[in-house]
Structure 1
Amino acid sequence: MCLQLIHILIVSLFTTDAVYAQQSVVKPYLPSHAQMLQAYANVNKLDSAWKKLPLNYTIRPNWQSNGKQFWYGKRVADNQSDYYFVDAEKGIKHKAFDTQKMADAIGSLTGKPIPANKFKVTQLFYDADQKQVKLKYNDAWFKCNLNDYHCEKSADTTFKSYDPSRPLQRRKYRWEGALKDSISPNKQWVAFAKSGNIYTKAVKGGAEIQFTTDGSAEKPYGEISWSPDSKHLIAYRIDPRKIKDVYYVLSAVPGTTRGQLKSHEYDQPGDEFTTYEPFLFSIDNKSKLKVGDEKLDFFGVPALHWRDGDSRYFTYEKVDRGHQRFRVIEVEAETGKTRNIIDEKTNTFIYEQRIYTRYLPKTHEIIWVTEKDGWRHTYLVNEITGDQKLITKGNWVVRDIDSVDVKKREIWFNASGKNEGEDPYFLHYYRIGFDGKNLVDLTPEKGNHAVSFSPDRKYYIDTYSEVNVAPRIVLKNTATLKTIAELEHQDLNDLLATGIKLPEVFVAKGRDGITDIWGVVYRPANMDATKSYPVIENIYAGPHDSFVPKSFSVINEMQSIAQLGFIVVQIDGMGTANRSKAFHDVCWHNIADAGFADRILWLKALAAKYEQVDITRVGIYGTSAGGQNSAGALLFHPEFYKAAVSACGCHDNRIDKQWWNEQWMGYPVGPHYDQQSNITNAGKLQGSLMLIVGEADTNVPPESTYRFVDALIKNNKDFDLLTLPGAGHTDGGPYGRQKKRDFFVRHLLNAEPPARNYAEVAVE
C-alpha cells in the first residue's frame, strides 16, 4: 500500500508539473504596434474577401401563376447572379437562361452593353411551353426567346404578387383605429359623433336620433361600430390624455447656423393613458347600456368578435396595465352583462405581443396560445362553455402559428425544443390536429429551419443549417413530406480558404446548475495556440426574444472583430425568451440582471476548457437594450468585466418607451426602476467605458445617455463619449464601429490602433 501511495504521489507530482509546464507556455497575446497595424490591414483584406464570396444562405422562390413552378436567383463568382427554373411537379431544375447571353441580348436591344455581373432580374414569367420568358430589368420589360435569345421590348406585365415568406393567415392587430362615423351592415342607418355625443339617422333621410347628452369636447363619445344585425351600436365614452413630447436638437443641419429643436410624442413608463368606457345603444328602443363595470385603460379600443349568426353576444380582449392579466370577455348585447371566457393571471408577466388568439365563429371556438402551464402552448377554448383543452404539450415552446385549417381542424406552427438532442432554440415546423393528435414534423432534419410554401401549399422549400454547418435548401412535397429535389447546398471551400475559423457552439450550466445556457464563440483566423486572448462579449439581453445566431452566419461583425486578436462570444442568459416561462421570468422587475450570473459562469466554463481564453481581460459591447446591459456590466459586475462600449443605451427604464419597459419592469413604476438604473448607480463605475449616442435618436431618447454622462461627471468618473450629429438609433455606424474596435484594442490588448490622422498603415 505504501509503494502504491508513493507511486500515486510521484505520478501526481509529475502530472502537476506537466500541466503547469503546459499552462505556462500560454502567454497573454499582447501585440506590438506594428503587429496591430498588420492585424487591422488583415481584417480589411478579410472583410473585402468575404464580401466577394458567392455565398447563398437562402433563396427566394418566385412562384409562377400555376403554383407548380418557380424561379430563383443565385449569386455566383464575380458578383454575378444566375437564375434557375424549378418544376416542382416534375422534380426538374435547370438554369433559366445563360446570364451572359441574356445580358448581351438585352444590351444589344437597348444599345447599352450590360456586363453579366450587372444583370439583375427582378421579375420573370414563362409562357405555357416554357420557350419564352417575360422579364423585368431596370424597370423595363422584355420578351425573350430562350432558344435564340431574340428579345423584344414588352409592355408592363400585371401579376398577382405572392410573398412566400408570409404566414398563410396574417395576424390581425387586436386594437382598432378610431371610427368617426359608421354605416350599419344593412345600409339603413348611419351613426356618428357630433359635439361629443352619439347620433344616428336613417340613410335615406329623416330626423337625427340623439343617444347621449353627457358627451363633450373634453370627454366625447366615439369609436363607433355596429352589431351584425344592425340593431345595436357600440361606442365609448373617452377620457383623452395627450401623449407627452420628448425633444432633441439637430446640431449640424447643412445651410444653417443654429441648431433645430425637434419633438415627437413618446409614452414613458407611468404616463397616463386615454381611457375608454364601453356602451351599447339599441336602435329599436333608443336605450343606452353600460358594458360591464370596467374602463379600458390600456392600449386602445379592442376588436369585437360577434358570435356567428347570432348578434346576441360579442367578445373582446383586455390586457390589464402591468401585463399580469389577460381576458377574453363576452358581452350580452341586450343587457350589457359581461362574462370572462378566458381569464389568465400571473404573478410575473404575460407577454402581450405574443398573445395569440384565433376566433372560429362557426364552431364557437378559440385557438389560444399561452404560457400558463410553464411552456408556450396551444389550447382549444369552447367559447360558450369556457372549457379549455391543451393541444400541444411538453417541455418545448410553440414559437408562432402559421395558420389554422378550420376544415381539417389542424394547426400549422413552428416550435423549438421539441426535437431531442438538438439546440433547444432550433426552429422546426409542424402541423397537429385540434385534438392534439397526429403531430407531424415537416422538418425532421437536425438544424435551424426556415420554411416557405407554394401558393396552394402543395410544396414547401425548407432551408436549414447550423451556425457552423452550411445551409441545405430542399424542395418537399407537403402531403408526403418526401424530398423532391435538393436545390442548393452551400460549398464552403472558398470561405475556408480565407483561413476563417468557423464559430463554435458552446454550452454550459447556468446559475441553477441545471439549465443549459447556449452561446457561440468566434476566434481569430491566425490564432496562436500558445497565446491567450482577451474575450469580448456581444450582449443583447432584451427579454423580448433570444439573440444568439442559430443559422449559418459566420460572416458578421463578431467574426470581423475576432480577427484583431480577440475571442468574441454571444450568449443567451436567463431572462431572455424562447425557453420555459421560468427561464424568462428571471427578467421580471429585474432587467438589470441581464442574465449576467449565467454569462459569467458560461465564460468561466469556456476558459476552463480552453486555456487560450483569457477571462482576466473581458470586454463587452451592445446597442440599445444591449447598451444598457454593457454599461451595467461595469456597474454591477466590475470584478469580471473590464471594458465596455455602450451604444444608445436605455440607461434608465423610466426614460425609455412605455410599452417595452412596463412589459418587463411592471406597473406602477416602483423603487426597483430607480435601484436598477445605470444613472442611479453611475458612482459604481469601474473599468473603461465608452458611450455612443445619436443626437436624433427617436427610439431611446438621447437624454438617457446624456443623463448617464451627467451622473458620471458628478461622480468624477473617467469615460469616453462619442456623439453622432444627426444620427438616430445606432451603434455608431462605420465610424462608431471603428471607434469601438480601437477602444478594445487599447484597453484589452494594451496596444495602439492606427493613427488615422497621419494615414498610418502596416508596413508590408
Structure 2
Amino acid sequence: MKKICFLAIFSIFLLSCKNDKKSTTNFTTGTKEITLEEIWDGTFSPERMNALNSMNGDFYSLLNTDKKTKSTTVDKYSYETLEKVATIVNSTDLKEIDRFSSYEFNNDETKLLLGTDFKKVYRHSSKGKFFVYDITSKQVTLIGEDIQEPTFSPDSKKVAYTKNNDLFIKNLVNGKVTRVTSDGKVNSIINGTTDWVYEEEFAFVRAFRWNKNSNYIAFLRFDETNVHEFSMDITGNSLYPSQQVFKYPKAGEKNAKVSLHLFNINTNSTKKLSVGEYEYIPRIQWTNDANTLCVTTLNRHQNDLSLYFVNAQNGTSKVILNEKDDAYVDIQDNLTFLEDNSFIWTSEKDGYNHIYHYDANGNLKNQVTKGDWEVTNYYGFNNENNQVYYQSVENGSINRGVYSIGLDGKNKKILSNEVGQNTASFSKNMHYFINTHSTSEIPPIYSLYNGEGEMLKVIKDNANLKEQLSEYKMSPKEFSTINVNGNDLNMWMIKPANFDENKKYPMLMFQYSGPGSQQVANRWNGSNDYWHNMLAQQGMIVVCVDGRGTGLKGRDFKKVTQKELGKYEVEDQIAAAKQLAERNYIDKNNIGIWGWSYGGFMSTNCILKGNDIFTTAIAVAPVTSWRFYDTVYTERYMQTPQENESGYDDNSPINYADKLKGNYLLVHGSGDDNVHVQNTMRMVNALVEANKQFDLFVYPDRTHGIYKGKNTRLHLFTKMTNYIQENLNVNKDKPTEIKG
C-alpha cells in the first residue's frame, strides 16, 4: 500500500529493478493538504491492470469496455509482446446481448460463456443471464436467466448451472435441458451452490464439479431446514420496509446438513456418496483420474481434516491424507494433482506454512519448501522443468517475494524484487508472469517477466500518480518492531511532516488483529492509509501494531489466541500503547484506537479494558459477542459457547460496559448480513444499563462495508475525522510543547 522522486529518477528505478532488487526511492513532501473528498473520489487511485485470463499457449485475454460506446469486448494478447492480436467477441456484433460483464472460455477456447444482468445474492455470489458464444460460427445460445455458476463440461458439449437451488445441465448439441435435482427450496434445500456460511467462511459458491471425461458431476446438497433464520428490516424507499430473511447458523447452533452426491450423465442417475464422519465438506475436486474424486472433510472443531479419494464407479472411499492440529487446520486452494496423480499440498504441520509433495497413495515424497517463514501463495507447477512457483515472506514478514523451486526442493530462485509486495499472475504454461510490485513508497508497477525471473517489460508504472503525490504534504510509514509481552511485534508509524521531537502529539492506533491477518505490510497505500496520513498532517501520530494472533510469523504466533479471541490481542494493543506513551513526543493523555469488524471488536475492548491509557475509540461494524457470529469462523477459533463459555464471555465487551471512561463512537450498517447490527444494539443496551454516555451512528440498509449510496464512505470518514479532532485535542499548528 507511498513518495517523491523526480520522474526521470523513477524511470531509472524501473530500468534497474531487474538487476538491483534492493533499489529504493527517497520520500519527500509537498505542500497541498489531502482532503477526504480526494480520498473517496478516486484522486489517489493507481492505474491497475484489468484481471487477465491466461489462455492456451503464450496468450491471455482481457475484458475491455469502450468508454464512449459502452460496448464490451474480449481481446486476445500476446505475453511475449503484450500487444493485442485479436478481438474474440464484440458486444456491438451481438443482437442478443447489449453488453456483457463476464466471460469464461471452454477448454479448447472455441466457445465463451457471456454473462449479463447480474443480481447480488450474498457478498460473493450473484445470479445473471448467460449465453454461449461460438467463436467460429458466431452463434449465440441462451443458457438461462437468473442462473448461477454456469460451467462448461470439459468436452464443451454441455453447460451445468444452478437455478432456484436446483442443478441443471444444458446439452449444447441438441438443446436438451436435464434437471439433475428437483427438491431445491429457498431457506430449505440448496443443490450445487453453497449456503451463506460456506460462501462467507469457506470462500466458494459453486458446489459442483465435472470430471475430466464429462460423464460425472459431483455436487453438494445443503439441507438448511433446521438452521435458524435471521431477518433484517430493509428500509428502502417504500412506505413499508421489507425483510431480508436467510439461514444463518450462529456459534453453537445447528449447521446445514451437507451431503455429497454424484450424477451419472450416461445413466441419468444420482447416488449419494459416503465419506465417513464429518461436519463440513469445504472442498470437492476431481483428480487426474476421471473416476477418482477428492473430497475434503472437517470435523466441527475444524482441527481434524481428511482428504478422501472416492471411486465414482462403485462409490467406495478411502482416506488418502489426514491432518490434525490442537487448534485448527486451515482450508486452502493449493491442492494440485500432477500427471501421475501425485499431488501438491500446503500445510503448516512443521510450524510454518510450506509446500509438500505426496504420491498418488498419499505417502509423503518430499517437503518442497522449508524454513522459519511462510508460503503465502502457491502459483502452480511446470511439468516441463519440474518447477514449483510460489510466493512467500522469506525476506521478512512484511514483504512478499515470488520464487521458483524444484519439486525436489532444490535450486530455489527469487524471481521478483526482494522487498515490498510482489504478486504474480502466471500464464497457463508457466512460461511468463505479470508481476505487481509495490512498497509503502512505490505505487504498483506491473511488469512482464519470463519464468526464469527475467524482467522483459514494464507495463504500467503509475509514474503519473507518483508525480501527482509530490505536490502533497505526506509522511512515510516508518517500519520497526516493538517488543511487547515478550514478542517482537511488527509496527509502522506515521508522523507529521513537520514532526518536532521536542513537542507532544496525540496518537491514534489502527488495527484489525483477526487470526492470521496482517496490517503492517510494506505495500502501497489503500484509502485508510491516505486518511491516516491526512490525520498525521493535522498534528497526530498514527500507529499500527500487529499483535499476537496475526499472521505470517508461524503457527504458534498465530494460534496462541485459540479459545481466547480478544484476550492476548487486546493485551498487546494496551501494552503497546503504554510503551509508546513513554516516548517523549507522545501525549499520553490523548491516545485513541479505531478498527472495523474484528478491529471494532478490538477497539471496543481496548477502551474498556485499557481505560487507563485509551481516551477515545471508534468501532465500525464490530462484533461485540462471538455468540452472535457464525459457526464456521467462530468455532474454528473458539469451539462452541457450550464448550467454552468463559472464552466467549470473558472477552466480550458487552460484559465490560461499566468500564467506559473515554469517548466512544459506535457505527454500524443496519443491513449488515455478516456482522449483524444486533451486535451494536446489544452493546448499546449494556452501555445504557451502565449509564455510560457514548456516540452512535447507524447507516440504514448498508452492509458490512458501509459503502453503497452516494457519499456514504465520505460521510462516514468525515464523521470519524470530526470525532477524532474533537476528542484527541488535535491541533495541526500547535502541538503541545514538552516542558522541562
Q: TM-score, normalised by structure 1?
A: 0.65
Deviation of 1:230 after TM superposition, in Å, equals 11
Deviation of 1:280 after TM superposition, in Å, equals 9.5
* Max Rg structure: 1
Choose from 585, 588, 594 the match for 1:612. 585
RMSD: 5.3
| 1:534-553 pair list within 5 angstroms | 534-553=506-525
Counterpart Cα distance in 1 of 2:45 and 2:237: 41
Counterpart Cα distance in 2 of 1:158 and 1:687: 49
| 1:194-593 pair list within 5 angstroms | 241-251=225-235, 253-256=236-239, 258-276=240-258, 294-299=276-281, 303=284, 305=286, 308=289, 311=291, 314-331=293-310, 338-352=317-331, 354=332, 356-360=334-338, 362-384=339-361, 386-416=363-393, 418-419=394-395, 423-453=396-426, 457-469=430-442, 474-479=447-452, 481-482=454-455, 484=457, 488=461, 490=463, 492=466, 494-512=468-486, 515-553=487-525, 556-593=530-567
Counterpart Cα distance in 1 of 2:263 and 2:62: 55
Deviation of 1:496 after TM superposition, in Å, equals 4.0
> Which amino acid is 2:229 matched to?
D
Counterpart Cα distance in 2 of 1:507 and 1:564: 25
Instruction: Verify the 8 A CA contact 1:231 1:282 in the aligned structure 2.
Output: yes
Q: Quote the residue 1:657 is aligned against.
A: 630
Identity of paired residues, percent? 22
Instruction: Verify the 8 A CA contact 1:635 1:686 in the aligned structure 2.
Output: yes
Matching of residue 707 in structure 1 with residue 682 in structure 2 = yes
Q: Quote the residue 1:95 is aligned against.
A: none
> Which amino acid is 1:548 matched to?
V
Indicate how the Cα distance of structure 1 residues 226 and 581 shifts in structure 2: closer, same or farther if over 3 A, else same.
closer
| 1:76-87 pair list within 5 angstroms | none
Instruction: Verify the 8 A CA contact 2:71 2:92 in the aligned structure 1.
Output: no
Indicate how the Cα distance of structure 1 residues 642 and 126 shifts in structure 2: closer, same or farther if over 3 A, else same.
closer
Counterpart Cα distance in 2 of 1:59 and 1:583: 34
Choose from 618, 621, 632 the match for 2:605. 632
Indicate how the Cα distance of structure 1 residues 264 and 681 shifts in structure 2: closer, same or farther if over 3 A, else same.
same
Instruction: Verify the 8 A CA contact 1:471 1:490 in the aligned structure 2.
Output: no
Q: Quote the residue 1:674 is aligned against.
A: 649
Deviation of 1:250 after TM superposition, in Å, equals 3.5
Counterpart Cα distance in 2 of 1:536 and 1:377: 36
Counterpart Cα distance in 2 of 1:696 and 1:734: 19
Instruction: Verify the 8 A CA contact 2:232 2:245 in the aligned structure 1.
Output: yes
Counterpart Cα distance in 1 of 2:575 and 2:233: 43
> Which amino acid is 1:626 matched to?
G
Instruction: Verify the 8 A CA contact 2:47 2:462 in the aligned structure 1.
Output: no
SS in 2 for 1:743: helix
SS in 1 for 2:655: coil
Instruction: Verify the 8 A CA contact 2:36 2:718 in the aligned structure 1.
Output: no
SS in 2 for 1:532: strand
For structure 1, list consecutive stretches of 5 or more residues without a partner in the other structure.
1-41, 74-102, 111-118, 143-154, 163-172, 188-218, 753-764
SS in 2 for 1:399: strand
Instruction: Verify the 8 A CA contact 1:510 1:597 in the aligned structure 2.
Output: no
Number of equivalent positions: 594
> Which amino acid is 1:706 matched to?
M
For structure 2, list consecutive stretches of 5 or more residues without a partner in the other structure.
1-30, 106-123, 125-146, 158-187, 193-207, 707-711, 733-740
Counterpart Cα distance in 2 of 1:254 and 1:476: 52
Indicate how the Cα distance of structure 1 residues 739 and 274 shifts in structure 2: closer, same or farther if over 3 A, else same.
closer
Counterpart Cα distance in 1 of 2:581 and 2:251: 40
Deviation of 1:471 after TM superposition, in Å, equals 5.5
Instruction: Verify the 8 A CA contact 2:218 2:263 in the aligned structure 1.
Output: yes
Counterpart Cα distance in 2 of 1:601 and 1:549: 21
SS in 2 for 1:436: coil
SS in 2 for 1:723: strand
Counterpart Cα distance in 2 of 1:289 and 1:59: 46
Indicate how the Cα distance of structure 1 residues 373 and 279 shifts in structure 2: closer, same or farther if over 3 A, else same.
same
Counterpart Cα distance in 1 of 2:621 and 2:43: 34
> Which amino acid is 1:593 matched to?
K
Deviation of 1:702 after TM superposition, in Å, equals 0.8
SS in 2 for 1:348: coil
Counterpart Cα distance in 1 of 2:104 and 2:316: 45
Deviation of 1:452 after TM superposition, in Å, equals 3.7
Indicate how the Cα distance of structure 1 residues 469 and 444 shifts in structure 2: closer, same or farther if over 3 A, else same.
closer
Indicate how the Cα distance of structure 1 residues 718 and 446 shifts in structure 2: closer, same or farther if over 3 A, else same.
same
| 1:111-126 pair list within 5 angstroms | none
SS in 1 for 2:658: helix
Counterpart Cα distance in 1 of 2:672 and 2:102: 40
Deviation of 1:274 after TM superposition, in Å, equals 3.3
Moved more, 598-607 or 580-589: 598-607
Indicate how the Cα distance of structure 1 residues 314 and 601 shifts in structure 2: closer, same or farther if over 3 A, else same.
same
Matching of residue 749 in structure 1 with residue 729 in structure 2 = yes
Deviation of 1:538 after TM superposition, in Å, equals 1.4
Counterpart Cα distance in 2 of 1:247 and 1:236: 25
Counterpart Cα distance in 2 of 1:349 and 1:547: 22
> Which amino acid is 1:542 matched to?
G
